[in-house]
Protein backbone atom coordinates (compact mmCIF):
# COMPACT_ATOMS: atom_id res chain seq x y z
CA UNK A 1 0.00 0.00 0.00
CA UNK A 2 1.63 3.29 -0.99
CA UNK A 3 1.68 6.34 1.23
CA UNK A 4 -1.60 8.21 1.69
CA UNK A 5 0.32 11.44 2.35
CA UNK A 6 0.73 12.44 -1.34
CA UNK A 7 -3.07 12.32 -1.65
CA UNK A 8 -3.26 15.13 0.89
CA UNK A 9 -0.75 17.21 -1.10
CA UNK A 10 -2.57 16.63 -4.39
CA UNK A 11 -6.02 17.46 -3.01
CA UNK A 12 -4.85 20.06 -0.52
CA UNK A 13 -6.93 18.29 2.14
CA UNK A 14 -5.36 16.36 5.00
CA UNK A 15 -8.71 15.33 6.46
CA UNK A 16 -9.31 12.36 4.11
CA UNK A 17 -5.97 10.58 4.71
CA UNK A 18 -6.23 11.20 8.45
CA UNK A 19 -9.78 9.83 8.48
CA UNK A 20 -8.69 6.70 6.59
CA UNK A 21 -5.79 6.23 9.03
CA UNK A 22 -8.06 6.50 12.09
CA UNK A 23 -10.68 4.21 10.60
CA UNK A 24 -8.00 1.60 9.77
CA UNK A 25 -6.62 1.85 13.31
CA UNK A 26 -10.11 1.37 14.76
CA UNK A 27 -10.79 -1.70 12.60
CA UNK A 28 -7.38 -3.40 12.71
CA UNK A 29 -5.42 -2.03 15.69
CA UNK A 30 -2.66 -1.00 13.26
CA UNK A 31 -1.71 2.68 13.28
CA UNK A 32 0.00 3.84 10.09
CA UNK A 33 0.50 7.58 9.75
CA UNK A 34 -0.78 8.93 6.42
CA UNK A 35 2.71 10.23 5.61
CA UNK A 36 4.42 6.83 5.97
CA UNK A 37 5.59 5.01 2.84
CA UNK A 38 4.82 1.30 2.74
CA UNK A 39 6.43 -0.91 0.08
CA UNK A 40 4.91 -3.62 -2.07
CA UNK A 41 4.05 -6.95 -0.46
CA UNK A 42 4.57 -5.80 3.16
CA UNK A 43 2.83 -8.22 5.54
CA UNK A 44 1.75 -7.23 9.05
CA UNK A 45 1.04 -10.45 10.96
CA UNK A 46 -1.36 -10.24 13.94
CA UNK A 47 -1.05 -6.47 13.67
CA UNK A 48 -2.61 -5.29 16.93
CA UNK A 49 -0.48 -2.50 18.39
CA UNK A 50 1.72 -1.89 15.34
CA UNK A 51 2.65 1.81 15.01
CA UNK A 52 4.37 3.20 11.91
CA UNK A 53 5.37 6.87 12.14
CA UNK A 54 4.94 9.72 9.68
CA UNK A 55 8.33 9.68 7.97
CA UNK A 56 8.88 5.92 8.18
CA UNK A 57 9.66 4.00 4.99
CA UNK A 58 9.07 0.23 4.89
CA UNK A 59 10.72 -1.68 2.04
CA UNK A 60 9.15 -4.31 -0.19
CA UNK A 61 8.20 -7.75 1.16
CA UNK A 62 8.98 -6.96 4.76
CA UNK A 63 7.29 -8.85 7.60
CA UNK A 64 6.13 -7.01 10.73
CA UNK A 65 4.72 -8.79 13.78
CA UNK A 66 2.36 -7.49 16.48
CA UNK A 67 3.35 -4.67 18.80
CA UNK A 68 6.12 -3.27 16.57
CA UNK A 69 6.88 0.46 16.71
CA UNK A 70 8.69 2.23 13.90
CA UNK A 71 8.87 5.53 15.75
CA UNK A 72 10.79 8.72 16.33
CA UNK A 73 12.72 9.77 19.39
CA UNK A 74 11.01 13.16 19.64
CA UNK A 75 14.34 14.99 19.37
CA UNK A 76 14.48 15.50 15.61
CA UNK A 77 12.63 17.45 12.94
CA UNK A 78 12.15 16.43 9.32
CA UNK A 79 12.92 12.75 8.67
CA UNK A 80 12.70 11.29 12.17
CA UNK A 81 11.46 7.71 11.66
CA UNK A 82 13.33 4.62 10.42
CA UNK A 83 13.84 3.47 6.86
CA UNK A 84 13.41 -0.30 6.68
CA UNK A 85 14.94 -2.17 3.72
CA UNK A 86 13.42 -4.99 1.69
CA UNK A 87 12.81 -8.51 3.04
CA UNK A 88 13.20 -7.37 6.66
CA UNK A 89 11.58 -9.29 9.55
CA UNK A 90 10.70 -7.24 12.64
CA UNK A 91 9.80 -9.52 15.56
CA UNK A 92 6.90 -9.06 17.97
CA UNK A 93 7.21 -6.06 20.27
CA UNK A 94 10.40 -4.74 18.67
CA UNK A 95 11.00 -0.98 18.66
CA UNK A 96 13.02 0.75 15.95
CA UNK A 97 13.46 4.36 17.02
CA UNK A 98 14.85 7.39 15.22
CA UNK A 99 16.01 8.22 11.72
CA UNK A 100 17.79 4.90 11.19
CA UNK A 101 18.73 2.94 8.09
CA UNK A 102 17.90 -0.75 8.40
CA UNK A 103 19.43 -2.69 5.48
CA UNK A 104 17.92 -5.43 3.34
CA UNK A 105 17.40 -8.99 4.67
CA UNK A 106 17.75 -7.91 8.31
CA UNK A 107 16.10 -9.85 11.17
CA UNK A 108 15.18 -7.92 14.31
CA UNK A 109 14.44 -10.20 17.26
CA UNK A 110 11.25 -9.97 19.31
CA UNK A 111 11.39 -7.34 22.04
CA UNK A 112 14.56 -5.71 20.70
CA UNK A 113 15.09 -1.95 20.83
CA UNK A 114 17.11 -0.77 17.83
CA UNK A 115 18.75 2.65 18.20
CA UNK A 116 21.52 2.45 15.56
CA UNK A 117 21.77 1.77 11.83
CA UNK A 118 21.92 -1.90 10.84
CA UNK A 119 23.70 -3.05 7.65
CA UNK A 120 22.13 -5.58 5.28
CA UNK A 121 22.10 -9.32 6.04
CA UNK A 122 22.33 -9.01 9.84
CA UNK A 123 20.42 -10.26 12.85
CA UNK A 124 19.82 -7.82 15.73
CA UNK A 125 18.68 -8.78 19.24
CA UNK A 126 18.55 -7.25 22.69
CA UNK A 127 18.11 -3.92 24.45
CA UNK A 128 19.77 -1.94 23.02
CA UNK A 129 19.86 -3.92 19.78
CA UNK A 130 23.20 -5.61 18.98
CA UNK A 131 24.22 -7.27 15.75
CA UNK A 132 24.75 -10.94 16.56
CA UNK A 133 24.81 -12.44 13.10
CA UNK A 134 26.24 -11.04 9.88
CA UNK A 135 26.28 -13.01 6.65
CA UNK A 136 25.37 -12.91 2.98
CA UNK A 137 23.62 -16.27 3.33
CA UNK A 138 19.85 -15.97 3.08
CA UNK A 139 18.07 -17.33 6.16
CA UNK A 140 14.47 -18.46 6.67
CA UNK A 141 12.68 -15.31 7.94
CA UNK A 142 10.11 -17.18 10.02
CA UNK A 143 12.62 -19.09 12.20
CA UNK A 144 12.34 -16.85 15.27
CA UNK A 145 13.29 -19.76 17.52
CA UNK A 146 16.74 -19.97 15.90
CA UNK A 147 18.04 -16.48 16.73
CA UNK A 148 21.57 -16.68 18.19
CA UNK A 149 21.97 -16.14 21.94
CA UNK A 150 24.98 -13.87 22.48
CA UNK A 151 24.77 -14.02 26.29
CA UNK A 152 24.81 -17.84 26.28
CA UNK A 153 27.96 -17.84 24.12
CA UNK A 154 29.77 -15.45 26.51
CA UNK A 155 28.71 -17.50 29.56
CA UNK A 156 29.90 -20.72 27.88
CA UNK A 157 33.32 -19.12 27.23
CA UNK A 158 33.57 -18.05 30.89
CA UNK A 159 32.59 -21.52 32.14
CA UNK A 160 35.24 -23.12 29.90
CA UNK A 161 37.88 -20.73 31.27
CA UNK A 162 36.87 -21.47 34.88
CA UNK A 163 37.14 -25.23 34.25
CA UNK A 164 40.61 -24.73 32.74
CA UNK A 165 41.77 -22.71 35.78
CA UNK A 166 40.34 -25.29 38.20
CA UNK A 167 42.33 -28.02 36.44
CA UNK A 168 45.52 -25.94 36.74
CA UNK A 169 44.94 -25.36 40.46
CA UNK A 170 44.24 -29.06 41.04
CA UNK A 171 47.41 -30.00 39.16
CA UNK A 172 49.46 -27.56 41.25
CA UNK A 173 47.98 -28.91 44.49
CA UNK A 174 48.88 -32.48 43.48
CA UNK A 175 52.48 -31.45 42.69
CA UNK A 176 52.69 -29.54 45.95
CA UNK A 177 51.58 -32.50 48.06
CA UNK A 178 53.91 -34.84 46.09
CA UNK A 179 56.88 -32.50 46.59
CA UNK A 180 56.21 -32.18 50.29
CA UNK A 181 55.34 -28.53 50.83
CA UNK A 182 54.03 -25.19 49.56
CA UNK A 183 57.43 -23.99 48.31
CA UNK A 184 57.51 -26.68 45.62
CA UNK A 185 54.88 -24.84 43.54
CA UNK A 186 56.65 -21.46 43.36
CA UNK A 187 58.52 -22.21 40.09
CA UNK A 188 55.23 -23.30 38.46
CA UNK A 189 53.52 -20.09 39.61
CA UNK A 190 56.36 -18.00 38.14
CA UNK A 191 56.05 -19.83 34.79
CA UNK A 192 52.28 -19.15 34.75
CA UNK A 193 52.80 -15.43 35.49
CA UNK A 194 55.41 -15.20 32.73
CA UNK A 195 53.00 -16.84 30.20
CA UNK A 196 50.21 -14.48 31.25
CA UNK A 197 52.52 -11.46 30.78
CA UNK A 198 53.43 -12.60 27.26
CA UNK A 199 49.76 -12.74 26.23
The Cα–Cα gap between 113 and 97 comes to 8
What pLDDT shows up at residue 6?
Answer: 47
- Grouping H, G, I as helix, E, B as strand and the rest as coil, residue 37 is strand
DSSP string, 91-151: -TT-EEESS-EE-TT-EE-TT-EE-S-B-SSEEEETTTTEEEEE-SS---TT-GGG---HH
pLDDT per residue as tens digits for the range 135-180: 655 445 545 666 667 788 889 999 999 999 999 988 888 887 777 6
Report strand pairing: 122-125 vs 130-134.
antiparallel
What pLDDT shows up at residue 25?
Answer: 64
Which of the two residues, 79 and 184, has the higher pLDDT score?
Answer: 79
pLDDT per residue as tens digits for the range 28-74: 768 888 888 888 888 888 878 888 888 888 989 889 888 888 888 87
C-alpha to C-alpha distances, 54 to 32, 37, 98, nearest whole angstrom: 8, 8, 12
Sorted by sequence, the CB contacts under 8 Å of residue 53 that are 6+ apart come out as 33, 36, 70, 71, 72, 80, 81
Amino acid sequence: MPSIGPLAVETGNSLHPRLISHLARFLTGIEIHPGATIGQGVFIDHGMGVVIGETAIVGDYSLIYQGVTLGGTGKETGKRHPTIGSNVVVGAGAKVLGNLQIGNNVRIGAGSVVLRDVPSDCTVVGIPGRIVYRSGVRVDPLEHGRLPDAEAEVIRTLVDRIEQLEQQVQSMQQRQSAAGGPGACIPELRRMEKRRGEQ
